Amino acid sequence: MALIYKVKSIEALYEQMKKFMIGKGSSITNFNVGSRIRTLLESVSTVLHKSQFDFSKAIKTAIPLAVFNGFEFERKGGIAATGKINFYRSGAAAADIDIPAGTAILLDGLTFETLVDGKILAGNTDSGGINSACSIEGTDGNISVNAIDTASGLGSFINQPLGVENAKNGVAAIPPDGTAFSGGEDEETDSERLARFRDYVSSLARSTPLGLLTGARSVDGVSSASIIESSPSAGWVTLYVDDGSGTLPAALKTEVEKVINGDPADSENYPGYRAAGIQVLILAPNVINVDVDMTIKILSGSLVTDSDLEDEVETEVTRYINSLGLGYDVTRAEMIKVAKNVHADIFDIVITLPASNVVVGSNEVPRVNTFTIGSVRISP
């Protein structure tokens, strides 16, 4: 960049204008500090220096943008956080209570709504965890366990179903299987876009495994992808795609299929990635349910309550596991590291479940199934 355009200093600009005036035979000779002509030239030099600096910065920004635009390489949008919300009431339901998809709760300006229909069955007091998502894409939707608790004033219903009294994403006695919301991602940063572009350029042959992976990952809403060749038989490739929650919604699957296989009705926008004679099967990953049972050892002098530390540890460990993409193992060492980093007063972590590292295949994603946590106070 320095060979193309170099920003001159204020002093260099001043000296250049001074020499220009002298060379032109100007009768002005008083260039002492504080003189009118020197003050004028220094003022012009300062403005020119800032303009040159702004121009240089604009060039450095414009060059990569021009390259991206030339390849129609758009920035990826964010991904919404997902989790589970449990809806409950104080007394047993006399008949089934419907909780339709789209039942929404407002929390700190964000909306969390159910993705599927649910029910509180007759004779029960709660619905169990219902798959839900934040309506806004980005990390703001990543909330901790117990963040939603309408009975305690943490969130309010937007469209409260008849017969439902409260909702919670916690793990207290009621409800038993809410979760933290995780997996939310902000819009792609400049560095992330550049890294993906380098992969894209390296895979311009498109039909290579890296090309197919790059094509799948370029679709908004795709969190991770993996490939198994010669599956389910020779001449086939199985491409597993995850939206961050361990599922592949029908609309997202259709979009990935068009990107990978091409769309004869819109070949300009969907030329396809796969090679002729190769069939690509696009599937959702298999979800590996991970049961977690751990005890945290807290220093006896800690001023933080046991329940607060338990909630924070559960939130962070859940976020670690649920954020893993296709083929990433769940390691006990990382679980311990994540848990201990929650607070300096956590002395040690004892993990009962999983009993060993959870090995995850390239067609699988790990997700928390149940989470049991307790704590003990110890003297150092």
Task: Parse the chain into domains and list their residue ranges.
Answer: 10-70, 80-168, 205-283, 287-378
Tell me how far apart the alpha carbons of residues 97 and 88 are, in angstroms, rounded to a whole number. Answer: 10
Categorize the per-residue pLDDT at 89 as very low, low, confident or very high, splitting at 50, 70 and 90: very high
Q: At what angle do helices 10-23 and 36-70 cross, to 10 degrees?
A: 120
CATH 3.30.300 fits 205-283, yes or no: yes
> Would you state the pLDDT for residue 173?
45
- What is the per-residue pLDDT across 22-70, written as a single tens digit (0 to 9) for each? 888 877 878 888 888 888 888 988 898 888 888 878 777 777 777 787 7
Asked if 83 contacts 169 with a C-beta cutoff of 8 angstroms, the reply is: yes
- What is the per-residue pLDDT across 190-229, written as a single tens digit (0 to 9) for each? 888 888 888 877 677 778 888 899 999 999 999 899 999 9
Tell me how far apart the alpha carbons of residues 89 and 87 are, in angstroms, rounded to a whole number. Answer: 7
> Would you state the pLDDT for residue 174?
47
> Would you state the pLDDT for residue 28?
80
> Would you state the pLDDT for residue 2?
46
Strand, helix or coil for residue 47: helix
pTM: 0.63
Q: What is the mean pLDDT of residues 293-304?
A: 95
> Would you state the pLDDT for residue 67?
78
Tell me how far apart the alpha carbons of residues 104 and 248 are, in angstroms, rounded to a whole number. Answer: 22
**Residues of the chain above pLDDT 70, percent:** 96
How far apart, in Å, are the Cα atoms of 171 and each of 63, 179, 240, 290? 51, 7, 31, 16
Tell me how far apart the alpha carbons of residues 81 and 366 are, in angstroms, rounded to a whole number. Answer: 16
> Would you state the pLDDT for residue 102?
96
Range with the poorest average pLDDT among 24-33, 41-50, 80-89, 362-371: 24-33
Which residues, 6 or more positions from 5, have their beta carbon under 8 angstroms from its beta carbon?
55, 56, 59
Per-residue pLDDT at 295 exceeds 90 = yes
DSSP string for residues in 124-140: -SEEEEEEEEEEEESGG
> Would you state the pLDDT for residue 171?
58
Per-residue pLDDT at 254 exceeds 60 = yes
DSSP state of 235: T
Task: Compute the mean pLDDT over every residue in the chain, rounded to the nearest whole number.
Answer: 89
Q: What is the mean pLDDT of residues 273-296?
A: 92
Categorize the per-residue pLDDT at 252 as very low, low, confident or very high, splitting at 50, 70 and 90: very high
DSSP H stretches of helix in the chain: 10-23, 36-70, 190-202, 209-217, 250-261, 306-322, 332-340
> Would you state the pLDDT for residue 1?
41
